[in-house]
Amino acid sequence: MYDFDYHKPAHRADADTLLGRDNYKPLAGGMSLLPALKLRLNRHDGLVDLGALSDLQGIRRDGDAMVIGAMTTHATVAASDLLQQALSALCVLAEGIGDPLVRNRGTLGGSIANADPGADYPAAVLGLGATVITNRREIAGDAFFTGLFETALHSGEMITAVRFPLPQKAGYAKYRQPASRFAITGVFVAQTVAGVRVAVTGAGPSVFRFAAAEAALTRRFDAAALEGLTLAPEGLNSDIHAGADYRAHCVVEMTRRAVIAAG
């Protein structure tokens, strides 16, 4: 690990000022950033720990949406009675992340900012058409994830909250890597007044929408509507855990399971 400056501001304004410095990085739960620093895969002049900023934590309902603070942990999301009543698929997703240590330290904002191809939350952001709120602007979920470990965030920008519109129905299913519990393939399905959205994580370099499944399920929201549906393996991930052909098959199967979970 390289040397770096460490700051833990007590106020948002101080965090904004620090993040305006060259090569300063916000630190959330540290579940991905700290291992990368230890392995010297990343190098930053300074880290800005957001752990003391209480206004970045919490879950609240705002009309027809749920707003979750960026520093809200996975464990808090999983255990939320408010979410269980309004958007239980998000509780299911959070409960399946990592192990208890990861769930109690890792955060919503840190997960989507890292944009790991096997992370769970990107599927919910894209599948629900969420809005990512930062200290500078609001970014539509469809425009947020731009590639492998890449997002639309600019230098010095930090996520403060995510606004998830409430769907009519939603479900999440994943085939997980048994050691890390990252998604080899995970699918979030949401039925909305505008149609069905199906977002896939784990299968490609970045989360993506499964257009053919969306069209089939918009016509009839039933697992049987997916019969005969396939996904081309070109461009999908192929590694020691699963090949592209197998992931393509898993996408369809996890989509079917997510629809069943949505009820």
> Residue 136: its pLDDT value, please?
95
Q: What is the mean pLDDT of residues 189-208?
A: 97
> Residue 133: its pLDDT value, please?
98
Q: What is the pLDDT of residues 60-84, one digit of tens each?
A: 999 999 999 999 999 999 999 999 9
> Residue 41: its pLDDT value, please?
86
Question: Is 52 domain-assigned?
Answer: no
The answer to whether 32 and 110 have CB atoms below 8 angstroms apart is yes
Question: Is 219 domain-assigned?
Answer: yes
Q: What is the mean pLDDT of residues 125-130?
A: 98
Q: What is the mean pLDDT of residues 37-46?
A: 89
For residue 38, the enclosing domain spans: 5-45+57-262
Question: Is 218 domain-assigned?
Answer: yes
Question: Is 50 domain-assigned?
Answer: no
DSSP string computed for the chain: ----EEE--SSHHHHHHHHTSTTEEEESS-TTHHHHHHTTS---SEEEE-TT-GGG--EEEETTEEEEETT-BHHHHHH-HHHHHH-HHHHHHHHTSS-HHHHHH-BHHHHHHHT-TT-SHHHHHHHTT-EEEESS-EEEHHHHEEETTEESPPTT--EEEEEEEPPSEEEEEEEE-TTT--EEEEEEEEEETTEEEEEEESSSSS-EE-HHHHHHHHH--SGGGGTT-----TT---SSS--HHHHHHHHHHHHHHHHHHH-
Assign residue 248 the CATH number of its domain.
3.30.465.10
Question: Is 138 domain-assigned?
Answer: yes
Core vs surface per residue 97-124: b (16+ CB within 10 A) or e? bbeeebbebbbbbbbbbbbbbbbbbbbb
Q: What is the pLDDT of residues 170-196, one digit of tens each?
A: 999 999 999 999 999 999 999 999 999
> Residue 42: its pLDDT value, please?
85
Is pLDDT of 221 > 90?
A: yes
> Residue 239: its pLDDT value, please?
95
Is pLDDT of 1 > 90?
A: no
Query: 190: which 2 tokens?
Result: 């949401």
Q: What is the mean pLDDT of residues 87-105?
A: 96
Question: Is 170 domain-assigned?
Answer: yes
Q: How many domains does the chain have?
A: 1
Question: Is 51 domain-assigned?
Answer: no
Q: What is the mean pLDDT of residues 21-28?
A: 93
Question: Is 224 domain-assigned?
Answer: yes
Among 201, 207, 204, 248, which residue's Cα sits nearest to residue 229? 248
Length of the chain, please? 263
